Amino acid sequence: MWKTLLAAGALALTTAAAQAEKIEIELWHAMGGALGEATNAVAEQFNASQDKYNLTPVYKGNYEETLTATIAAFRAGEQPNIVQVFDAGAATIIGAEGAVIPAQDLIENAGLEFRTDYIPGVANFYADENGKMVGMPFNSSTPILYYNVEALEKAGVEPPRTWEEFQEIAPALKEAGYVPMAQSHLPWIFTENFMSRHNLQFATNANGYEGAEGTRLLINVEPIKAHFAAVKEWIDAGLFGYYGTGWGDNQAPFENGEVAMWLGSSGSFGGLKQSAGFEFSATYLPYWEAVTEEPYNTFIGGAALFAMSGQPEEENEAAAAFFQFLSSPEPQVFWHKETGYVPITATAYELAKAEGHYDQEPAAEVGISQLQQPGGDWTKGYRMGFYVQIRDVMNREYGRIFSGEATVDEAFDIIEEEGNRLLERFAQTQSG
């Protein structure tokens, strides 16, 4: 009896010691619900894959809340090892020189080999002006077009490749009793990626990558204004549904079969599979043939992981090991299948292909292949500060266009003027 107790005690001590030896690191993220579960699963896989490090994911609310919490923690010297920051917050965290260790440096400093097969559309977005990867792309998605198969069959139409085609088929869908189309994120889909899809410059200083000083929006231009004028006409004619700024408010009418086509994120795939009670498929984001004959790649949205500075060397090594694990093919394919976010390396993409994922789910390949369409000078992404507020200005003014409170010209003048003021203010915070 005593012996067994002693043995048990000794065992407990040794396991406790083994656990204590593990280097603990923390990851702050904004992935709620099913995405949060997938994030936890990736962390568990990492912890099980080796016995030196232990990663704990912590949910910190939505993207904005996570960034705000990180800033507060950083100023108090309590920052986590890794934090997830979304596309619109990238300039804030990358601009804060010394707040993060670039992912590439982190991995190389730990003596690991930095991968060379990142998919360009994915890797560039969170890179610095010289192409060095700063943020490790985590949940990467791109806007694509989902459609209700039955609705399109009923109307006897094919999914549109271009906006010109959409204009032709939309009346038939309306006739069949559907709102032909809706979208869920005007700044992301109809602004940032609109510019990329047509290879139009979005901001000076190489879309802002060359620094905050002097960066100006180049948004007050004919192609995008014509697009918004067209959308307004479609809304008035009942050919397009606008349900406000909320993502879900626009996705819901597609899920309940009211709207025939919906522009959402490639990362919406996993959720739609569960919520949509009908057969749906996906295709590329339409473009205006009048603007460009061939479409260019879109870039990613979603978020990346950033390694915060000010941590002990061994914890940085742990973070590097996690980044290396995360970008290896198996976790990538797991994440891709589970959530619909795109794989970030060519090897992972090939693996998903070889496993027959796209034969079963052709729609799951749309996002990743759209990211690999030919690129142009202005299809890397953008880097602008106070961008959350700039997006708020866009959403507000677009809303005013659609409700008839402002003309397209007035709205774009305001976006340009107030957006540039915000950029100027951001540049001032960086110079101090």
Partner 1 sequence: MHKAQFQSPLYPYLLLLPQMAIVAIFFLWPSAEAVRSSFFLQDPFFGNETFVGIDNYTDAVTRSDYGRAAWFTFLFTVVVTFFSLGIALLLAVAADNVLRGQGPYKTLLMWVYAIAPPVAGLIGIMLFDQHIGPIVDFFALFGWDMRVGVDYWDSGIAMMIVATWKQIPVNFIFFLSGLQSIPKGVREAASIDNPSASGRFWTIIFPLLAPTSFFLMIINITYAFFETFGIVDVMLKGEPGNNPVTLVYKVFLDGFRGNDLGGSSAQSVILMVFVLALTIVQFRLIERRVHYT
- Number of other CB atoms surrounding residue 119 within 10 Å: 21
Note whether 416 binds partner 1 by CB under 8 A: no
Instruction: List beta partners, residue 118.
Output: 345
Note whether 246 binds partner 1 by CB under 8 A: yes
Are the C-beta atoms of residues 334 and 344 closer than 8 Å to each other? no
Question: In 80-222, which ranges are E strands?
Answer: 82-86, 100-101, 136-141, 143-148, 179-183
Candidates 36, 171, 223, 253: give the one binding partner 1 (CB under 8 A).
253
Candidates 64, 233, 236, 377: give the one binding partner 1 (CB under 8 A).
64
Give the residue with the Cβ less far from partner 1, 377 or 417: 417
Site string for partner 1, 86-105 (x = CB under 8 A): ------xx-xx-xx------
Note whether 386 binds partner 1 by CB under 8 A: yes
d(CA 98, CA 94): 9
Note whether 392 binds partner 1 by CB under 8 A: yes
Are the C-beta atoms of residues 198 and 223 closer than 8 Å to each other? yes
Closest CB 251 distance from partner 1, rounded Å: 11
Query: What is the DSSP-derived secondary structure letter of residue 191?
Result: I
Note whether 236 binds partner 1 by CB under 8 A: no
- Number of other CB atoms surrounding residue 65 within 10 Å: 12
Are the C-beta atoms of residues 358 and 364 closer than 8 Å to each other? yes
> Exposure of 109 by Cβ count < 10 A (0-12 exposed, 13-18 middle, 19+ buried)?
middle
The number of residues in the chain equals 432
Note whether 266 binds partner 1 by CB under 8 A: no
Are the C-beta atoms of residues 90 and 126 closer than 8 Å to each other? yes
Give the residue with the Cβ less far from partner 1, 356 or 432: 432
Closest CB 410 distance from partner 1, rounded Å: 10
Note whether 23 binds partner 1 by CB under 8 A: no
Note whether 395 binds partner 1 by CB under 8 A: yes
Are the C-beta atoms of residues 278 and 150 closer than 8 Å to each other? yes
Note whether 75 binds partner 1 by CB under 8 A: yes
Closest CB 82 distance from partner 1, rounded Å: 16
Give the residue with the Cβ less far from partner 1, 287 or 402: 402
Helix 387-403 to helix 408-431 angle (10° resolution) is 170
Note whether 217 binds partner 1 by CB under 8 A: no
Candidates 39, 245, 324, 370: give the one binding partner 1 (CB under 8 A).
245
Candidates 243, 284, 349, 382: give the one binding partner 1 (CB under 8 A).
243
**Residues 153, 265, 35, 133: is their CA dihedral positive or negative?**
positive
Note whether 50 binds partner 1 by CB under 8 A: no
Are the C-beta atoms of residues 368 and 339 closer than 8 Å to each other? no
Note whether 261 binds partner 1 by CB under 8 A: no
Note whether 429 binds partner 1 by CB under 8 A: yes
Note whether 252 binds partner 1 by CB under 8 A: yes
Closest CB 68 distance from partner 1, rounded Å: 5
357-394 per-residue burial string, b: 16 or more CB within 10 A, e: under 16: bbeebebbbbbbebbbeebbebbbbbbbbbbbbbbbbb
Give the residue with the Cβ less far from partner 1, 335 or 398: 398
Note whether 403 binds partner 1 by CB under 8 A: yes
Candidates 22, 154, 216, 400: give the one binding partner 1 (CB under 8 A).
400
Return the residues of window 312-341 that contact partner 1 according to CB under 8 A: none
Give the residue with the Cβ less far from partner 1, 143 or 367: 143
- Radius of gyration of the chain, Cα coordinates, nearest whole angstrom: 23
Are the C-beta atoms of residues 292 and 286 closer than 8 Å to each other? no
Candidates 249, 274, 311, 423: give the one binding partner 1 (CB under 8 A).
249
- Nearest to 216, CA basis, from 201, 228, 205: 205
- Number of other CB atoms surrounding residue 253 within 10 Å: 17
Give the residue with the Cβ less far from partner 1, 17 or 76: 76
* Region of 149-157, 281-289, 297-305, 401-409 interacting with partner 1 (CB under 8 A): 401-409
Beta strands 53-59; 280-283: pairing state: unpaired
Closest CB 249 distance from partner 1, rounded Å: 6
Give the residue with the Cβ less far from partner 1, 15 or 256: 256
Q: Which two tokens stand for residue 315?
A: 């914890």
- Number of other CB atoms surrounding residue 320 within 10 Å: 24
Give contact residues for partner 1 (rule: CB under 8 A): 62, 64, 67-68, 71, 74-75, 92-93, 95-96, 98-99, 242-246, 249, 252-253, 256, 386, 388-389, 392, 395-400, 402-403, 405, 414, 418, 421, 425, 428-432
